[in-house]
Chains A and B, each alone.
Chain A
Amino acid sequence: MDHPSEDSPSSSDKSLGPTNHPQLPFPDEVLEKVLSFVNSHKDRSSVSLVRKDWYNAERWTRSKLFIGNCYSVSPEIVARRFPRIKSVTLKGKPRFSDFNMLPRDWGANVHPWLVMFAKVYPFLEELRLKRMTVTDESLELLAKSFSGFKALSLSSCDGFTENGLKALASHCRNLTELDIQDSISEDVGGGWLSSFPENFSSLEVLNFASLNSDISFDDLERLVSRCKSLRVLKVNETISLDQLQRLLVHAPLLTELGTGSFMQELTPRQYEEVETAFSNCKNLEALSGLWDANSLYLPLLYGACAGLTFLNLSDAPLQSGDFANLLVHCPNLRRLWVIDTVEDKGLEAVGSSCPLLEELRVFPADPYDRHHRDGVSESGFLAVSHGCPKLHYVLYFCRRMTNAAVITIVKNCPDFTHFRLCIMTPGQPDHLTNEPMDEAFGAVAKTCTKLKRLSVSGLLTDVSFEYIGKYAKNLETLSVAFAGSSDWGMQSVLEGCPKLRKLEIRDCPFGNTALLSGKLKYETMRSLWMSACNVTMKGCGILAREMPRLNVEVINDEGSDGSQADKVYVYRTVAGPRRDAPGFVLTL
C-alpha cells in the first residue's frame, strides 16, 4: 500500500453504488476481472481511491501486498482490508541501518506479522523481507502455517540461525525459492541444507551465498540433481571449484550462478572438467561469487560468458589486466558490479567492451583509506560514459571527482535514473578547481530528467540543493551526507521535488526550520531520516504535535546532552506510535 488509506476512502462517493450510477453500468464481477490484470501496487492504490465499490473490488482482488515501511501500518489493519493475500513484501529498518547507524534490537521484527498472516492468509505463498529481524521462532511459524508456501526471500535480515532454516527445509514441501542475500545468520553449522526431505524436488531458486558455514556437499549435490527446475543456484565460499563442477553437471540449465571459492589447485584434468562444465552452461545470464578469482582460473569462465547480462565481481578484487581479458568475453553485459582494484584502466576496458551496459557499480577495496590505493577516479567514469550510452544506473565510490567530468558524463548518458556518487572523503571539493561539487550535481539534476534516485557527496553548498529542488522533478530518493550550508538547502529540496518519497540526511547543518518546513510534505513521503544535524528535541516535539499522522522517533547517542536530537526518523503511519519500540527510541 503506497499510501495507507483508511477503510473508507475519503475521495469516493459513499452513497452511490453501480446500480445507482448511470456512468458505471457494469457489475462487480467485470470490475474484479479487469482489476485482476492490475498488478502494480501503486496502480491498485489509485484504483482504490476512485469510489467505494472500486475500493471494495480492489481489496478483494489484491493478492500481492507491498509494505515499504512495516511501521506505516499494522498487521490488524492489513488483515481487515485485504482478505486474500498470497504474496507479501515487507521492508523494515531505515536504510542507514546497513551502515551500523541503528542500535541492535531497534525493531522491525516480522513475528507479529506472521502471527496475523497465519490466522488470515492460510494460502500465503511468498514472503519477501528486507531489513527485518527474523527469528527462528518466526521461521518455524512460517514453515508450519502455510502448506502451500513457495518462496522466501530475505535481504539484509538478521536474527535467525540454522534451526529456523531447518524448520523451513523440513516442512515446506512445495518450496520453490530460498533466497538469502546479505543477511546475517548466527548459525554455527549448515545442517539446514541436509534437512530437505529425500523426495523434495521443487526448488527453483537457492541462494545461500551469504551464509558462511560448511554444508554437506553430498546433500547439496543430491538436492541439485533432484531439483530439475533449478534455475538459480548461488553457493557459499566453502564450495570448491571441483565441487562446483559436479553441481554444474547436474544443473546445466542454470540462468543465475553464484560460484564458491575460485581458488584451488586443480589438476589438468580437473581444469578441463571445470572448463567444460562452464561451457555447457548455455543459459547463464547472471554470474556472481568468484571469491579469490585470479588470472589462472578466470579463463575457466569464458565459455559461459557469451550470454551473460549481469556480472557481479563485488567479491573478487581483480586487476585491470585480468578484468579486461574477462570482459572481452562478455559483450552482452547489461549490469556490472566490480571492485575498484580494476582502477580507471579497467573501466576503460568496460567502455570499450560493454556497449550495452546499463548499470555499473564500483565498490571500494579500501573504504577507510588504510592502504592509500588509487581506486578509481573521474577518468574511469568518463571512459564508461563514452563507451556505454545506455548507462542509467551508477553507484560509484571514488576518492576524487571533478565538476567538468560529471557534466560531460551526464551529457554522454542523459538517461540516468539512479545516480549514486560517493566521493569518499567527506566534504571534498573538485580536485582540479577546488570548488564545490555544486555544478556537478546541478548538471545531473538538469540533464537527467528521468532521475529517480540521487546520492550526493563531496563539498556542496545550498546551491546544489537549489538545483535539485528546481530540476529534479522525478526524484524519489535522495541521500545527503556532509553537505549543505544552511536550512535553505534542505528547504529547497522539500519545496521543489514533488515526487520525493525518501530523504536520508546525515551530518548536515540543517536545523528545526528546515525540518518543520517539510511537515506537510512528510505525509506524502515514506520517511525522513536525519542524523547528526542541527535538529533539537524541541523542534521534533513541534513536528510531532502538529502532525499526528507522523511518527517522530528520536534516538539519542550515549552521553548526549538531551537537547539535540541526534537521530531522527520520521514516517507517516496509520498505525499510531510503535508499540514495540525499545527504550532508546523516543516517540514524540
Chain B
Amino acid sequence: MELELGLGLPNQSSSSSGHVMVKGLQLDLNSSSSTTYQNNLPRFLYRDVCSDHDHQEEVESKDLSLLLWSGQPNQEDDDPPPHKWTNLLHLNDDVQMNDDEEDTEIVGWPPINSVRKELLHRNQQQRRQRVINIIPGARNNINKSMYVKVKMEGVPIGRKIDLSLYHSYLSLTHAFIHMFSKYTAYKEENRDGGEYRILYQDKDGDWMLAGDVPWERFVESVRRVEIILRKDN
C-alpha cells in the first residue's frame, strides 16, 4: 500500500507500537560521538524513488508528490520555484528514528564513504538553512493552538489535531500516518495502486487538495481535514 505522500508503509513487521517507517524522510540527524553510528544518509535517500511507479510524465521526482498532487507545480508568482519546495520537504526533523532501527546499525557498515555522506548531510543542512532564510516564517510555530478535525475514509472515529504543533506538510502527514496506522495496516487488499489523498475544507467552505498552497496559508485557512482513498492511479 502506498501513501501518495512520498511516505512509506507502516512497518508491518514491527510491534503495534505504531512506529512507521517513512520513505524519503530525513531521519535522526543528531551527530553522535565517533563510537556510535552516524545516521547521515546520502542525499538521494530523500527522494522517494519508487520503482513501482514509473511515471514517465512526472517531471519532478516523487518526493514532490507531497505538494504536487496533480503533477503540475503551483505556478503562482509568489511561490518559490519547485526545487525550493523540494528542500522544504527536508525540513522535518521531528521524525526520530525508532530505537530498534538504530540498534541494528553497525559503525562503519556497509563501507560507504562517510566523508561523502557527512558532506551531503552538511550540504542538505545548508540548503535547508538557505530555504528557511528565503521563506520567512517557515520555522515559526504558531503560538496559539489550532485544533481541526481529521477524518479518514473508512475509519469510524474522527480525530482532532493541533496544527500549531506542526510546521510543514511533511510533519503533518507523518502525524496522520502515525494516527491512522492501525487502520491502514488492515488495508493490504487495497494494494492495487490505491493512494491516500489529504483534502481540507478551507474557510470559504471549499474542499481543496492539501499541498497546493504554502504551509502558512494552509494553516490559516484550514477548517477540517479528510483523508480519502483514491483507487485509480
- Using CB atoms and an 8 Å cutoff, list the residues of chain A in contact with chain B: 96, 98-104, 156, 158, 182-184, 210, 212-213, 237, 261, 263-265, 291-292, 294-296, 315-317, 319-321, 339, 341, 343, 363-368, 370-374, 397, 422, 424, 426, 455, 479, 481, 506-507, 557-558
Interface check B56, CB cutoff 8 A: yes
* Cβ–Cβ contact A422 & B110, under 8 A: yes
In the bound assembly, the distance between CA atoms of A99 and B40 in angstroms comes to 12
In the bound assembly, the distance between CA atoms of A506 and B106 in angstroms comes to 11
Interface check B8, CB cutoff 8 A: yes
Kindly list chain B residues whose C-beta atoms are within 8 Å of the C-beta of A366: 45
Q: A294-B60, A370-B21, A558-B35 are in contact. Are A96 and B44 (CB under 8 A)?
A: no
Which residue of B21, B61, B106, B126 contacts A212 across the interface (Cβ within 8 Å)? B126
* Cβ–Cβ contact A370 & B114, under 8 A: no
Q: A212-B122, A294-B60 are in contact. Are A481 and B113 (CB under 8 A)?
A: no
Chain B, interface size category, equals 35 or more
A43 to chain B, nearest CB (A): 31
In the bound assembly, the distance between CA atoms of A557 and B35 in angstroms comes to 7
Kindly list chain A residues whose C-beta atoms are within 8 Å of the C-beta of B107: 99-101
Q: A339-B44, A363-B112 are in contact. Are A319 and B51 (CB under 8 A)?
A: yes
Kindly list chain A residues whose C-beta atoms are within 8 Å of the C-beta of B81: 265
* Cβ–Cβ contact A296 & B59, under 8 A: yes
Interface check B175, CB cutoff 8 A: no
Kindly list chain A residues whose C-beta atoms are within 8 Å of the C-beta of B41: 368
Kindly list chain A residues whose C-beta atoms are within 8 Å of the C-beta of B27: 370
Q: Which single residue of chain B is at the shortest CB-CB distance from A318?
A: B49
8 A-B pairs whose Cβ atoms sit less than 8 Å apart in the complex: A96-B111, A98-B114, A320-B51, A321-B54, A339-B44, A341-B51, A367-B110, A371-B23
* Cβ–Cβ contact B112 & A99, under 8 A: yes
In the bound assembly, the distance between CA atoms of A365 and B23 in angstroms comes to 12
A398 to chain B, nearest CB (A): 10
Kindly list chain B residues whose C-beta atoms are within 8 Å of the C-beta of A374: 51
Which residue of B43, B83, B115 contacts A263 across the interface (Cβ within 8 Å)? B83
* Cβ–Cβ contact A104 & B34, under 8 A: yes
Kindly list chain B residues whose C-beta atoms are within 8 Å of the C-beta of A370: 21, 27, 45, 101
Q: A99-B112, A294-B59, A370-B27 are in contact. Are A261 and B49 (CB under 8 A)?
A: no
Q: A96-B108, A210-B116, A426-B109 are in contact. Are A365 and B34 (CB under 8 A)?
A: no
Kindly list chain B residues whose C-beta atoms are within 8 Å of the C-beta of A319: 49, 51, 54
Q: A292-B61, A319-B49 are in contact. Are A371 and B8 (CB under 8 A)?
A: yes
In the bound assembly, the distance between CA atoms of A182 and B34 in angstroms comes to 19
* Cβ–Cβ contact A364 & B83, under 8 A: no
Q: A294-B60, A368-B105, A481-B109 are in contact. Are A99 and B44 (CB under 8 A)?
A: no
Which residue of B37, B58, B113 contacts A182 across the interface (Cβ within 8 Å)? B113
Which residues of B112-144 are within 8 A (CB) of A?
112-116, 118-119, 122-123, 126
Kindly list chain A residues whose C-beta atoms are within 8 Å of the C-beta of B194: none
* Cβ–Cβ contact A182 & B108, under 8 A: no
Kindly list chain B residues whose C-beta atoms are within 8 Å of the C-beta of A261: 83
Kindly list chain B residues whose C-beta atoms are within 8 Å of the C-beta of A341: 49, 51
A98 to chain B, nearest CB (A): 5
In the bound assembly, the distance between CA atoms of A372 and B9 in angstroms comes to 11
* Cβ–Cβ contact A100 & B34, under 8 A: yes
In the bound assembly, the distance between CA atoms of A261 and B61 in angstroms comes to 13
Interface SS majority for chain B:
loop
Kindly list chain A residues whose C-beta atoms are within 8 Å of the C-beta of B43: 291, 315
Which residue of A99, A100, A104, A365 contacts B45 across the interface (Cβ within 8 Å)? A365
**5 tightest A-B CB contacts, nearest first:** A99-B108, A212-B123, A317-B44, A101-B108, A103-B34
Interface check B47, CB cutoff 8 A: yes
* Cβ–Cβ contact B21 & A213, under 8 A: no
Kindly list chain A residues whose C-beta atoms are within 8 Å of the C-beta of B86: 263
Kindly list chain B residues whose C-beta atoms are within 8 Å of the C-beta of A265: 73, 81-82
- Using CB atoms and an 8 Å cutoff, list the residues of chain B in contact with chain A: 8, 21, 23, 27, 33-35, 37-39, 41-45, 47, 49, 51, 54, 56, 58-61, 73, 81-83, 86, 101, 105-116, 118-119, 122-123, 126
In the bound assembly, the distance between CA atoms of A501 and B39 in angstroms comes to 32
A153 to chain B, nearest CB (A): 15
* Cβ–Cβ contact B49 & A264, under 8 A: no
Known: A210-B119, A316-B44. 4 other contacts (CB 8 A): A184-B115, A237-B123, A343-B51, A506-B108
In the bound assembly, the distance between CA atoms of A7 and B56 in angstroms comes to 67
Q: Which single residue of chain A is at the shortest CB-CB distance from B23?
A: A371
Which residue of A315, A371, A373, A426 contacts B106 across the interface (Cβ within 8 Å)? A426
* Cβ–Cβ contact B51 & A295, under 8 A: no
Q: A261-B83, A294-B60, A341-B51 are in contact. Are A365 and B44 (CB under 8 A)?
A: yes
* Cβ–Cβ contact A422 & B111, under 8 A: yes
A446 to chain B, nearest CB (A): 25
In the bound assembly, the distance between CA atoms of A294 and B60 in angstroms comes to 7
In the bound assembly, the distance between CA atoms of A316 and B116 in angstroms comes to 14
In the bound assembly, the distance between CA atoms of A183 and B123 in angstroms comes to 13
Kindly list chain B residues whose C-beta atoms are within 8 Å of the C-beta of A182: 113, 115-116, 119
A188 to chain B, nearest CB (A): 9
* Cβ–Cβ contact A99 & B114, under 8 A: yes
Q: Which single residue of chain B is at the shortest CB-CB distance from A102?
A: B34
A586 to chain B, nearest CB (A): 16
In the bound assembly, the distance between CA atoms of A368 and B21 in angstroms comes to 13
In the bound assembly, the distance between CA atoms of A319 and B224 in angstroms comes to 38
In the bound assembly, the distance between CA atoms of A283 and B82 in angstroms comes to 33
* Cβ–Cβ contact A98 & B35, under 8 A: no
Kindly list chain B residues whose C-beta atoms are within 8 Å of the C-beta of A507: 106
Kindly list chain A residues whose C-beta atoms are within 8 Å of the C-beta of B101: 368, 370
Q: Which single residue of chain B is at the shortest CB-CB distance from A482?
A: B109
Q: Which single residue of chain B is at the shortest CB-CB distance from A342?
A: B51
B201 to chain A, nearest CB (A): 31
In the bound assembly, the distance between CA atoms of A574 and B86 in angstroms comes to 54
In the bound assembly, the distance between CA atoms of A64 and B31 in angstroms comes to 40
Kindly list chain B residues whose C-beta atoms are within 8 Å of the C-beta of A103: 34
Kindly list chain B residues whose C-beta atoms are within 8 Å of the C-beta of A368: 39, 41, 101, 105
* Cβ–Cβ contact A213 & B112, under 8 A: no
Kindly list chain B residues whose C-beta atoms are within 8 Å of the C-beta of A102: 34
Q: A184-B115, A263-B83 are in contact. Are A100 and B49 (CB under 8 A)?
A: no
Q: Which single residue of chain B is at the shortest CB-CB distance from A292?
A: B61
Kindly list chain B residues whose C-beta atoms are within 8 Å of the C-beta of A426: 106, 109
Q: Which single residue of chain B is at the shortest CB-CB distance from A397?
A: B110
Q: A317-B49, A339-B44, A341-B49 are in contact. Are A100 and B38 (CB under 8 A)?
A: yes
In the bound assembly, the distance between CA atoms of A99 and B117 in angstroms comes to 10
In the bound assembly, the distance between CA atoms of A320 and B73 in angstroms comes to 25
B71 to chain A, nearest CB (A): 12
Kindly list chain A residues whose C-beta atoms are within 8 Å of the C-beta of B109: 99, 426, 481
